[in-house]
């Protein structure tokens, strides 16, 4: 799915988010082997190499950065045409912030997220392993439930996303559910 998505965006700048450092490296290597200018970015990399990769992404067109959530704060590249989540993000807030890095120039941008039962299970384990009280864990489970609800929504994705933040809009007519409604 990632390769098909990237091929539709050939020559465009984009961000692929992965949960782990290992998957970040593997995905960047896979894309590079397929002819995509793809660079990894994660906190486990040498700081100088991270800066080099970030500078290439910021200054050159058509570069795909494959990153963990360590990437993004302070990034304001206007021509990012897509954000692809190879793993489910942790919360609706994180997803909203990460996909908001695309289309800052006002032109159309594309977002795609892969998720499955394994992602949900892993996120629940992360919550349970937190060094926090039961009340915080309960809130984090509810936040994860909200993200799963967004992912499985049979209604307009944009409408569902903005409703989470208390904003009501009409159906966008542009998301996967609006274009190809669920039976």
Percent of the chain whose predicted confidence (pLDDT) is above 90: 92
Instruction: Name the residue among 29, 148, 31 with its Cα closest to residue 84.
Output: 31
Mapping DSSP to helix (H, G, I), strand (E, B) and coil, where does residue 61 land?
Answer: coil
Q: What is the pLDDT of residues 107-158, one digit of tens each?
A: 999 999 999 999 999 999 999 999 999 999 999 999 999 999 999 999 999 9
Max distance between CA atoms of the chain, in angstroms, equals: 50
Q: What pTM does this model have? A: 0.92
Q: What is the pLDDT of residues 11-70, one digit of tens each?
A: 999 999 999 999 999 999 999 999 999 999 999 999 999 999 999 999 999 999 999 987
Q: In what order do the strands lie in the sheet with 110-113?
A: 38-41, 64-67, 13-17, 80-85, 110-113
- Are 32 and 38 contacting, i.e. CB atoms less than 8 angstroms apart? yes
Q: What is the pLDDT of residues 169-180, one digit of tens each?
A: 999 999 999 999
* pLDDT confidence bin for 91, thresholds 50/70/90: very high
């392993």: which residue's tokens? 129
């Amino acid at each position: 799915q990632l390769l098909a998505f990237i091929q539709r965006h050939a020559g465009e700048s984009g961000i692929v988010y992965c949960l782990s450092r290992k998957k970040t490296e593997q995905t960047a290597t896979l894309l590079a082997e397929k002819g995509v200018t793809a660079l990894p970015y994660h906190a486990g990399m040498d700081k100088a190499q991270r800066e080099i990769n970030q500078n290439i992404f910021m200054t050159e067109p058509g570069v795909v950065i494959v990153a963990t959530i360590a990437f993004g704060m302070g990034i304001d590249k206007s021509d990012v045409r897509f954000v692809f989540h190879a793993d489910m993000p942790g919360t609706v807030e994180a997803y909203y912030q990460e996909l908001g890095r695309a289309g800052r120039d006002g032109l159309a941008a594309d977002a795609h997220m892969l998720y499955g039962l394994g992602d949900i299970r892993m996120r629940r384990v992360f919550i349970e392993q937190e060094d926090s009280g039961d009340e915080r864990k309960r809130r984090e489970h509810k936040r994860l439930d909200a993200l799963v609800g967004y992912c499985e929504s049979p209604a307009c994705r944009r409408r569902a996303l903005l409703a989470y933040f208390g904003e009501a809009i009409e159906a966008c007519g542009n998301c996967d559910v609006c274009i190809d409604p669920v039976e």
